[in-house]
Amino acid sequence: MQTNLDKLQNWSDKWLLRLNSKKCKVISFGRQINTNYVYRLKDKDQLHELERVENITDLGVILDSKLSFSEHIQAKIKKAYSMIGLIKRNFSSLSVSSFVMLYKSMVRSHLDYCNSVWAPFRKSDIDDLERVQKRATKILPALKKLSYTDRLKRCGLPALSYRRARGDMIETYKILTGKYDESVAPTLALNKHRLTRGNDLKLEVNISHYDLRKHFFTHRTSALWNSLPNEVILVDSTNLFKNRLDKFWHDQNLIFDYKSEITGIGNRSSSTKVK
């Protein structure tokens, strides 16, 4: 690793893109982490030892050494609550449509960003995220006394857990149909045993014993993807896939009840629009 760092620094110096060694950090991921290794970069002709940290932010996502993403989730929840407070202070009365527009752009966007990477698996994190939407939908006085499920139905908003499951399926579709650069996209292995039930793009179901891996995107999506029929997945465009997925899942309890689970059995004759 140190040899590669030296090569990187030589390249950056050659092209006058010098690295700031004081801003470079070291983080290790895994269940058993060896912290004995020390890495260095040159700083004004002097070797500077890089600081070892437990978490680091990359492209707006806080990564921790255990990949639990709890710190990232709490940071996004805090930001979302601040946006809810901003809406309450600046709008004395709101129609349902106005609230939904503000909520989607100012609050939910923070909870949706890159959630295929940090999707929670702990019940406490799932509840904390959903609690943000619960509080937000109580801003409207006319809906305040309704149950959370009824408030979502009146606003036309799905549960956050449903949006994450739906987002996983959209990302899986994009990966399998070559919408992303294959050199950087996650590898999804197709099931080679065609005698088993499933669609024509059925994925291998990977079994892992530790949370560090079994809740990764490539592991958690396979069973749900395999429950989709060919009429949903064998389409030419992402928008058509979204429409058919919504139609297939239109009667799932998880759309408005985040404590339910998707069964993979949808009524294919009608649809409910969720955004």
Is the pLDDT at 263 greater than 60? The verdict is yes
Tokens standing for residue 64: 């921790």
Q: pTM of this prediction?
A: 0.84
pLDDT of residue 271: 41
Look at residues 184, 202, 185 and name the one whose alpha carbon lies nearest to residue 193: 202
Report DSSP state, residue 190: B
Q: Distance between CA atoms of 53 and 62, rounded to whole angstroms?
A: 12
pLDDT by residue (tens digit) across 54-100? 999 999 999 998 888 999 999 999 999 999 999 999 998 889 999 99
pLDDT of residue 196: 62
Q: State phi, psi for 208 to the nearest 5 degrees.
A: -130, 150
| Count of CB atoms situated within 10 Å of the CB of 12 | 13
Contact (Cβ atoms closer than 8 angstroms) between residue 228 and residue 245: yes
Beta strands in the chain (DSSP E): 25-26, 40-43, 46-49, 51-52, 55-58, 61-64
pLDDT of residue 78: 97
Tokens standing for residue 210: 């530790």
pLDDT of residue 195: 62
Is the pLDDT at 272 greater than 80? The verdict is no
Is the pLDDT at 233 greater than 70? The verdict is yes
Tokens standing for residue 7: 């090569």
pLDDT of residue 239: 96
pLDDT by residue (tens digit) across 97-153? 999 999 999 999 999 999 999 999 999 999 999 999 999 999 999 898 999 999 999
Banded model confidence at residue 266, pLDDT cuts 50, 70, 90: very low
pLDDT of residue 194: 64
Average pLDDT, the chain: 88
Please report, rounded to a whole number, the percentage of residues in the chain having pLDDT higher than 90.
59
Is the pLDDT at 29 greater than 90? The verdict is no
Query: Would residue 138 be called left, alpha or beta, if left means φ above 0 and alpha means ψ between -120 and 50 degrees?
Result: alpha
Is the pLDDT at 210 greater than 90? The verdict is no
Q: Distance between CA atoms of 246 and 86, rounded to whole angstroms?
A: 32
Q: Distance between CA atoms of 58 and 220, rounded to whole angstroms?
A: 23
Q: For the chain, which residues make up each domain, given as ranges?
A: 2-53, 61-157, 162-255
Q: Distance between CA atoms of 164 and 192, rounded to whole angstroms?
A: 28
pLDDT by residue (tens digit) across 170-180? 999 999 999 99
pLDDT of residue 232: 94
